[in-house]
Amino acid sequence: MAEQVISIRNLTKAFGSNQVLRGIDFDANKGEVVCIIGSSGSGKSTLLRCINLLENPDGGQILYHGRDILTDESVSMPKYHAKVGMVFQQFNLFGNMNVLENCVAGQMKVLGRSHAESEKNALKYLEKVGMAEYRNAKPRQLSGGQKQRVVIARTLAMDPEVILFDEPTSALDPEMVGEVLSVMQNLAQEGMTMLVVTHEMGFARAVATQVVFMDQGVIAEQGAPDEVLGNPKHERLKSFLRSML
Amino acid sequence: MPTTFFGWVGFLLQQYGGLFFSGTCTTLLIALSGTFFGFIIGLLVAIVRTIEIPRGMGLFKRGLRKLAHMLIAVYIQVFRGTPMIVQAMVIYYGSMQYLGIDMDHTMAAILIISINTGAYMAEIIRGGIVSIDKGQFEAAHAIGMTHWQTMTSVVLPQAIRNILPSVGNELIVNIKDSSVLNVISVSELFFQAKSAAGTYFKYFEVYFIIACIYFVLTVTVSRILRFVEKKMDGPDSYVICGSQSDSRAEIVISKEQEKEVDRQWQSK
């Protein structure tokens, strides 16, 4: 059996009286690309944010290599965060740093790498996403697609095991969606474990190893992409997929 | 004895120029260092106030945090809620009568201005931190930075840039309001003027002179701060590094060029 990197068990989360997650279970194995789809308000982003502890879940377990990060005190949070990277819809590049500094800061502060090593590593990944030439630019000088590629490089520079993508292309112009998706597709081919909340059904169909359809805080349907996207059983999923076309 | 207004001004400047100069230096010293230490106090207070409760924090630590928050709230309320002239009296004579500490006048002035400014700065800096997009905190936490690291390397640099105009205000207010500290005999500009004016009973002329000095000080300071703001914003253009054939090639893209290219694209 493949090695489980992230396993979610009966995860629940409420904001006040609004029960956003009502018991989520799923596993992501090493090298898997899990695409999480669903209409807005279904809890996709909250699920991702819980996995990265940007939100504190109310109940359930988040297992990282079998260890529950919510209760197991032996899991170091900075280490966990470095190993589980996150790419945001709104990019969130550090506004006070240029492109290179954005990719260097985390390595030095969190992983304790030297400046020279961090810079070398950062340039390697910036090269990979095609942004090395812009190393001196400030975030506000970049387009959305460029920013998102820098964010991916920044995340990769931390040598993560898993990357969480929270609607990485939703804030982008249609022309720029392609450049970000192709970077993500390359990552998937290299065997990076990825959890992707997305509305890009084409990407899910082509790249995902597992598709999870969420509806009203539960997983309504999950399985291989051909099965879930090609032959939906759930009524909600059918109407959701129709609306995506 | 001079007979005209300007004659008197010239005469007084000649007579008391040294006094005015030393007063100006003291005023600048206590205003600058008071603003600086006030800024540091405000910074620490603001950081403590924005600490969130991490997972599994013990009851003791929670209590400690609550106590710290209460003390901070009291501090801010008290020092923003009473006049600095009264604070000066209470602290200076209080420590003399009940603690037996005879503070150096200038040190006492710096202490009072620092504490007073700190209370305002705490609110200004908190405002600056709140103004930073929540995504910046999240991104920093998501790559594993601690609260302290997030604050010092991501949030505060941006927050401080945003609040620089308010900090400048505080500095200007301190240059002027340090004059109230003459009540505890600090030899700042106003105190020196008082003794100069008394000798010849030339109140208008002397206070006209120090009004000009205060004005020049505040205008200069605001100009310097504008310059610092510009400097912090950095250049508007950036450099594209390297090319396929020549790794030393650099292409400078300025804001104007960028706009021009955008226009060309849009007209296509």
Structure confidence by residue, pLDDT tens digits, A78-101: 889 989 999 999 999 999 999 999
| Structure tokens, B23 | 């007063």
The pLDDT value given to residue B55: 54
> What percent of chain B lies above the pLDDT cut of 90?
53
Q: For strands A67-68 and A59-64, give the pairing.
A: antiparallel
B21 φ, ψ (degrees, to nearest 5): -65, -45
Closest to A237 (Cα-Cα) out of A72, A126, A225, A62: A225
pLDDT of residue B60: 82
**Token pair for residue A162?**
């898993």
At residue B255, the 3 state secondary structure works out as helix
pLDDT at site B53:
64
Q: What is the mean pLDDT of chain B?
A: 87
Contact A115, A176 (CB under 8 A): no
Query: How do strand B238-241 and strand B250-253 relate by DSSP bridges?
Result: antiparallel
pLDDT of residue A219: 93
* pLDDT mean over A155-166: 94
Least confident of A179-193, B58-72, B141-155, B233-247: B233-247
| pLDDT computed for residue B229 by the predictor | 86
What whole-number distance in Å separates Cα of residue A1 and Cα of residue A146? Answer: 38
Closest-CA residue to A128 (of A101, A162, A155, A167): A155
> A80 vs B133: CB contact, 8 Å cut-off?
no
What is the rounded average pLDDT for all residues in chain A? 91
pTM over 0.90: no
Strands A84-87 and A162-166 come out as parallel
What pLDDT, on a 0 to 100 scale, did the predictor assign at position B235?
Answer: 73
Per CB-CB distance under 8 Å, the chain B contacts of A98 are: 238
State yes or no: pLDDT of A123 exceeds 80. Answer: yes
Write the pLDDT tens digit of every residue in B94-105: 999 998 888 899
- A56 and B234 in contact by Cβ < 8 A? no
pLDDT for B254 equals 67
- A141, B238: Cβ pair inside 8 Å? yes
CB contacts of B138 in chain A (<8 Å) are: 54, 86, 88, 92
How far, in Å, CA of B165 to CA of B172, rounded? 11
Mean pLDDT for A223-241 is 90
Chain A positions touching chain B (beta carbons under 8 Å): 52-54, 56, 70, 73, 77-82, 85-86, 88, 90-98, 105-106, 109-110, 132-138, 141, 151, 154-155, 158
Q: For residue B268, name the pLDDT band (cuts at 50, 70, 90).
A: low
pLDDT band at B251 (very low <50, low <70, confident <90, very high): low
| pLDDT confidence band for B253 (50 / 70 / 90) | low
| 3-state secondary structure (DSSP) of residue B236 | coil
Contact A103, A153 (CB under 8 A): yes
* Chain A residue with Cα closest to B258: A141
Q: How confident is the model at residue B261 (pLDDT cuts 50, 70, 90)?
A: low
| Predicted local confidence at residue A19, as pLDDT | 92
Q: Which residue has the tokens 């990282």?
A: A64
> To which residue do tokens 């899910």 refer?
A204
Q: Kindly report the length of chain A.
A: 245
Give the residue from chain B lying closest to A58, CA to CA: B55
The half-sphere exposure of A75 on its side-chain side, counting CA atoms within 13 A, is: 21
Give how far the C-alpha of residue B176 lies from the chain's centroid of Cα atoms, to the nearest Å.
Answer: 13
pLDDT for residue B246 is more than 70: no
What average pLDDT score do residues B225-234 get? 85
Instruction: Quick: pLDDT tens for B167-210.
Output: 999 999 999 999 999 999 999 999 999 988 888 888 999 999 99
For residue A152, what pLDDT is reported? 93
Mean pLDDT of B103-119: 93
pLDDT band at A61 (very low <50, low <70, confident <90, very high): very high
The residues, ordered by sequence, that sit 6+ positions from B74 with a Cβ below 8 Å of its Cβ are none
Residue B43 has pLDDT above 60, yes or no: yes
Q: Which residue has the higher pLDDT, B261 or B120?
A: B120
* Structure token pair of residue A192: 């990076």
